[in-house]
Each structure stands twice: as C-alpha cells, then as structure tokens.
Amino acid sequence: MNELARALLSNSAFAPPRNILQAIPDEAAHQKPSTAVGSAPHSIYDEVWHMAFWQDVSLDWVQGKPSPYPAHASEGFPADTSEPWEGLRDRFLAGVQNAAAIANDTERLEQPVACPRHNEPNRTMTVREQLESLAAHNAYHLGRVVLMRQLLSNWPPPDGGDSW
C-alpha cells in the first residue's frame, strides 16, 4: 500500500477512518456536542455525510463522470438525515476503499481529470492531486469527528485511536 492509499484508508497520520467511526451509537451520531462556549455546528452524522458527498464527487471526477460542483456550501451537508447511521458510515468507508484502490493503481495517478469548480469551469488536476485533496478533506473532517467523540465521552474507539 502506498502512502497516498494509507492516508485515505489506514493509519498514516491518524487513526484509520474505520476506527474513528467505530462504535458510535445512532443517538451520538446525530448529537451536536455542546461546550461552555456553544455547540458544534454539525453532528458526526453531518460530517460523515459531508465527507461521503465530496468523496462521491471526487471519485466521479477521477472516473471521468462530470459531476457538478454545488452552487452553495449547504448542498454539501444533509437536508435529510433519514439514511440510517450505519448505512451512511458503511457507504463512506466503501468509498474510502475505492479511493485507496485507485491510489494504489500507480499507472493512473498522473492522468488528468476534469474537476469543475465554481467559477473555474476548466480546472484540471491529476488523479493523484484529486486523491491528495480528498485525503486532506477527509482528514480535516475526521479530526472534527474525533473531537466530537471526545466531547461526547465516546473516545477512543474499541480498536484504538490516539488519545493524547
């Protein structure tokens, strides 16, 4: 497994996504943790839905499917939370597996792909660049999930995660 695949799927710079999302009860997934200064703007469910949304868009681009870039940031978060938590988690993790498999196909990594962005209709990236962007995006939001789990006293997960 190369480092790009590891950053998407495994324990490159942080606990693997599977561990980070392990053993989160449905109720906790939908809760917005509170602190003395306010509450989180999103729940764990919202964060995972957001990652799955952008992961699907990124993988569509990598596979040559012209998925449109949303007109508003709100389109990247769920308006409907009826998808069961475990199904959402599994859908996201299946996408992570797919992204890692593409990252391990080193012959494809330098191929250009169209990545339409708002106000940048002709943006092109390589498969590697798109997957690096996806890995960074997922890392950011998985870090938010870890923080929310800590605030909910639901960390570390059974299969491990840094607790320092």
77-94 pLDDT per residue, tens: 999 999 999 999 999 999
Question: Mean pLDDT score of the chain, rounded to an integer?
Answer: 93
Confidence at residue 122, expressed as pLDDT on a 0 to 100 scale: 78
CATH of domain 3-151: 1.20.120.450
**Cβ pair 156, 164 in contact under 8 A:** no
Q: Is residue 164 predicted with pLDDT exceeding 70?
A: no
Domain ranges of the chain: 3-151
Q: Is the pLDDT of residue 73 over 90?
A: no
Band the pLDDT of 120: cuts 50, 70, 90.
Answer: confident
Of 42 and 14, more confident: 42
Give the per-residue SS3 of the chain: CCHHHHHHHCCCCCCCHHHHCCCCCHHHHHCCCEECCEECCCCHHHHHHHHHHHHHHHHHHHCCCCCCCCCCHHHHCCCCCCCCHHHHHHHHHHHHHHHHHHHHCCCCCCCEEECCECCECCCEEEHHHHHHHHHHHHHHHHHHHHHHHHHCCCCCCCCCCCCC
- Tell me if 9 sits within 8 A of 21, measured CB to CB: no
- Residue 69: predicted pLDDT: 86
At 163 the pLDDT is 65
